[in-house]
Amino acid sequence: MSLFQWNDNFSVGNSEIDAQHKKLFQLAARFHSAMTKGQGKQSLQQILTDLIEYTKYHFASEETAMQRSSYPEYPEHKAEHDALTRKVVQFRDDVAADRAVITIDVLKFLNDWLIHHIGQMDKKIGDYLRHQRPSAA
Ligand SMILES: [Fe+2]
């Protein structure tokens, strides 16, 4: 199985969240592809920055949906978002300052995190939102 291929198993049953997750997978795939093509540090850093910016946008969007619907597990979910954001921003800054290098481990980390977070945490939001608005598509 190749990394960062979205498929229906990742669907959380909410079209807006799914569309954002697809975009995250695309950005991660672009990062993967740039790495395997041996693109330089600057270009990898740029893609990583794009990925971080989109992740922040996506997390904010999920957090708004959780808050609007009084989602009971909001604090745990927000804490996971914050932890991931901190970790990836720190990594990007370390790379920029030559304290770290981009290796395949970064891709593995992103892949494991996406699968775990979407598969467990985000599916619960999707289920909850569907029960809040049973008539919504
Ligand atoms: Fe999430």
Residue range 17-67, pLDDT digits in tens: 999 999 999 999 999 999 999 999 999 999 999 999 999 999 999 999 999
CATH topology of domain 15-132: Four Helix Bundle (Hemerythrin (Met), subunit A) (1.20.120)
Which tens digits make up the pLDDT trace of 61-98?
999 999 999 999 999 999 999 999 999 999 999 999 99
From ligand 1's centre to the CA of 73, what distance in Å?
11
DSSP letter at 7?
-
From ligand 1's centre to the CA of 9, what distance in Å?
16
From ligand 1's centre to the CA of 77, what distance in Å?
6
From ligand 1's centre to the CA of 38, what distance in Å?
31
DSSP string, 58-88: HHHHHHHHHHHTT-TTHHHHHHHHHHHHHHH
From ligand 1's centre to the CA of 85, what distance in Å?
11
* C-alpha to C-alpha distance for 118 and 47, rounded to whole angstroms: 21
pTM listed for this prediction = 0.90
- The domains of the chain are located at 15-132
